[in-house]
């Protein structure tokens, strides 16, 4: 008896129990959704299988999908279509930039580093929206994960901030295109959360977390479960009038000057 009973939703980007996508998966499961997971690395698949087992979650399907590869996306979409007739939602929670470019100055970004960040972190949403559109025959909801570095200069976030800006603009253009098919497209802009990518990637990440405790209106940071619930809201009919939106789940940090 959840708000998402009978809804089939794809979750991308569970690497381990700290992943934002795992917070999303727990919220969606609690509300009765049937889940389809995509993973890139074999190690993530093993982690994911253990997590599902330990939490008593039976997925409809787990499929490999490397978003930097069109053939991999197409194969994943075909496998999903063969197993699940209709998809109602997509939680996109993947990004990547070489950590060499997540420190120092943005001006030093190479063409290859720039393109890779754009490819995996921004174009992947477009590619996945394109692949999922034919499966969302009853309308649907697509939600991605962004960060404040898209809107303003955050130290060290550099090339990823520029990729997130493209991601947020893509949310708006996709919302216009897919709105005709009853498909909504939104983003969550979360505060800094200690995950595999964040800790290992962004230089000075610990300072970002400390600043939340000291300065954010709520005087604390957010966690994966809070992002999970907000993402669930955007994937659910509770948000049926909302599209093209970036919702901040950051203890209010973004309102500060």
Catalytic residues: 147, 157
Residue 136: phi and psi, rounded to 5, are -95, 60
Q: Residue 11 forms beta bridges with which residues?
A: 37, 91
Can you tell me which residue has the tokens 């994943």? 76
Q: Identify the three-state secondary structure at position 139.
A: strand
Give backbone dihedrals phi and psi of 10, rounded to 5 degrees, phi first.
-90, 130
Among 30, 57, 60, 68, binds ligand 0WD (CB under 6 A): 68
- Near ligand 0WD by CB under 6 A: residue from 66, 141, 150, 221: 66
Concatenated DSSP letters for 55-109? TT---SEEEE--TT-HHHHHHHHHHHHHH-S---EEEE------GGGSSS-GGG-
Q: Which is nearer to ligand 0WD, 8 or 197 (CB)?
A: 197
Please list every residue from 197 through 256 that binds ligand 0WD, using CB under 6 A.
197-198
Mention every residue, 6+ apart, whose C-beta is less than 8 A from residue 175.
184, 185, 186, 243, 244
- Is 193 annotated to bind ligand? yes
| Residue number, 196 or 218, with CB nearest to ligand 0WD | 196
121 close to 40: Cβ distance less than 8 angstroms: no
Mark the segment that binds ligand 0WD (CB under 6 A) among 28-36, 74-82, 94-102, 240-248. 94-102
- Does residue 209 sit in helix, strand or coil? helix
- x/- mask, ligand 0WD, residues 123-152, rule CB under 6 A, reads ----------------------xxx-----
190 in contact with ligand 0WD (CB under 6 A): yes
Q: DSSP character for 13?
A: -
The window from 25-33, 61-69, 100-108, 241-249 that contacts ligand 0WD (CB under 6 A) reads: 61-69
**Position 186 contacts ligand 0WD (CB under 6 A):** no
41 binds ligand 0WD (CB under 6 A): yes
**Residue choice 10, 20, 132, 230 for contact with ligand 0WD (CB under 6 A):** 20
* Region near ligand 0WD per CB under 6 A, out of 33-41, 79-87, 109-117, 168-176: 33-41
Binding mask 71-90 for ligand 0WD (x = CB under 6 A): --------------------
Task: Return the half-sphere exposure (C-beta side, CA atoms, 13 A cut-off) of residue 178.
Answer: 32
Task: Report whether 252 contacts 217 (CB < 8 A).
Answer: yes
Asked if 7 is part of the footprint of ligand 0WD (rule: CB under 6 A), the reply reads: no
Site residues for ligand 0WD per CB under 6 A: 13, 15, 18-21, 39-41, 44, 65-68, 93-96, 120, 145-147, 190, 192-193, 195-198
């Amino acid at each position: 008896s959840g708000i998402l009973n009978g809804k089939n939703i794809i979750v991308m980007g569970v690497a381990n129990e700290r992943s934002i996508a795992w917070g999303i998966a727990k919220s969606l499961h609690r509300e009765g959704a049937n889940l389809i997971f995509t993973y890139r690395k074999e190690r993530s698949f093993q982690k994911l299988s253990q997590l599902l087992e330990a939490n008593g979650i039976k997925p409809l399907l787990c499929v490999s999908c490397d978003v930097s590869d069109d053939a991999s996306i197409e194969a994943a979409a075909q496998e999903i279509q063969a197993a699940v007739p209709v998809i109602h939602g997509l939680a996109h929670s993947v990004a990547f930039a070489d950590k060499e470019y997540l420190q120092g100055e943005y001006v030093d970004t190479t063409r290859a580093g720039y393109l890779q960040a754009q490819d995996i972190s921004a174009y992947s949403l477009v590619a996945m929206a394109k692949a999922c559109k034919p499966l969302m025959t009853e309308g649907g909801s697509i939600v991605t994960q962004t960060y404040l570095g898209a809107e303003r200069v955050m130290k060290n976030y550099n090339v990823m901030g520029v990729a997130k800006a493209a991601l947020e603009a893509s949310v708006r253009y996709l919302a216009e295109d897919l709105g005709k098919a009853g498909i909504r497209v939104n983003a969550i802009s979360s505060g800094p959360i200690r995950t595999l990518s964040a800790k290992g990637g962004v230089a000075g990440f610990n300072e970002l977390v400390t600043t939340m405790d000291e300065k954010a209106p709520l005087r604390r940071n957010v966690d994966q479960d809070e992002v999970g619930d907000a993402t669930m809201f955007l994937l659910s009919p509770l948000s049926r009038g909302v599209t093209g939106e970036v919702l901040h789940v950051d203890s209010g940090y973004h309102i500060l000057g």
